[in-house]
């Protein structure tokens, strides 16, 4: 199978729940939790609600210090970002998240976190319900691409990202030979369609060799954001 095709909209549409809401959003859906979808065959489970054994602290690689309860993990403010102990290059990633209501906060102070692909390219997590789409609002690829729509549900409702990620390519001398590609569905709705990007580290991402595989990073931005049911389907790299 062509690797570019594997990481396309069509590939993600084959996953349960992805794209199901494309024709029209159900009335009142913004007030409902996004359904939780179990990992399909062949997926690597990164978080199953029971332990944080697949995650380590960004600070030195010790045990992840986030709070574990009731089938989800919650940011423990000040404990730092967490990263997967495994690293990845090309993949499809599923992440479910829940945002606290922070009615007095505004902008980047409102339920902020992020999902960093390859540890470097952030898909913004934020309570942006009802706001116009921006690269630093919900679903934005930070300083890279504005989502085509704001697909956010209200805070205190479970939401999801489904991400197809293909890392930029480099030759033996470290020179970039091909851009990276990313497709993102937010709550089943397409918000980024095979967006191209250059090798880089977006704000607060991991530094280091951008030619190498990287972990999935979840950000501690000081807010009580929750995550559950995180799984990944690694793809052959060519």
pLDDT in tens, 6-57: 445 556 666 666 655 443 444 457 889 999 999 999 999 999 999 999 999 9
Give the span between the Cα atoms of 217 and 59, in whole angstroms: 12
- 26 belongs to a structural domain: no
Identify the CA nearest to 53 among candidates 37, 41, 36, 68: 68
Identify whether the C-beta of residue 191 lies closer than 8 Å to the C-beta of residue 28. no
Give the domain range for residue 228: 3-21+32-234
107: confidence class by pLDDT, cuts 50, 70, 90 = confident
Residue 197 lies in a domain: yes
pLDDT at 238: 62
On whether residue 226 sits in a domain, the answer given is: yes
Domain for residue 27, yes or no? no
3-state SS assignment for residue 128: coil
**Residue 229 within a domain:** yes
| Whole-number pLDDT of residue 14 | 63
Q: For position 42, which CATH number holds?
A: 2.60.120.560
Question: Is 85 domain-assigned?
Answer: yes
pTM of structure: 0.91
The pLDDT tens digits for 51-69 are: 999 999 999 899 999 999 9
Residue with tokens 């851009």: 179
Would you say residue 183 lies in a domain? yes
For the chain, the domain total comes to 1
Residue 213 placed within a domain: yes
CA dihedral 78, 80, 81, 85 (to 10 degrees): -140
User: What is the per-residue DSSP string for 32-85?
Assistant: SPPPP-PPPTTPEEEE-SS--TTEEETTTT-B---EEETTEEE--TTS--EEES
pLDDT in tens, 113-124: 999 999 999 999
């Amino acid at each position: 199978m062509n690797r570019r095709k594997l990481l396309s909209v069509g590939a993600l549409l084959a996953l349960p729940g992805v794209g199901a809401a494309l024709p029209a959003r159900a009335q009142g859906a913004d007030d409902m939790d996004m359904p939780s979808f179990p990992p399909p065959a062949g997926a690597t489970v990164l978080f199953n609600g029971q332990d944080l054994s697949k995650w380590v602290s960004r600070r030195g690689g010790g045990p992840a210090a986030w709070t574990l309860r009731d089938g989800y993990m919650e940011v423990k403010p000040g404990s730092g970002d967490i990263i997967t102990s495994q690293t990845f290059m090309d993949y499809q990633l599923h992440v479910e998240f829940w945002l606290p209501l922070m009615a007095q906060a505004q902008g980047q102070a409102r339920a902020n976190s992020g999902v960093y692909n390859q540890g470097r390219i952030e898909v913004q997590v934020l309570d942006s319900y009802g706001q116009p789409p921006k690269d630093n609002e919900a679903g934005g690829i930070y300083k890279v691409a504005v989502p085509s729509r704001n697909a956010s549900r209200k805070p205190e409702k479970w939401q999801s990202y489904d991400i197809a990620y293909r890392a930029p390519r480099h030759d033996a001398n470290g020179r970039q030979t091909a851009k990276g590609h990313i497709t993102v569905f937010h709550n089943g709705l397409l918000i980024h369609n095979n967006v191209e990007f250059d090798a880089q580290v977006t704000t607060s991402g991991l530094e280091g060799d951008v030619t190498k595989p990287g972990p999935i990073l979840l950000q501690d931005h000081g807010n009580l954001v929750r995550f559950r049911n995180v799984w990944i389907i690694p793809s052959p790299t060519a």
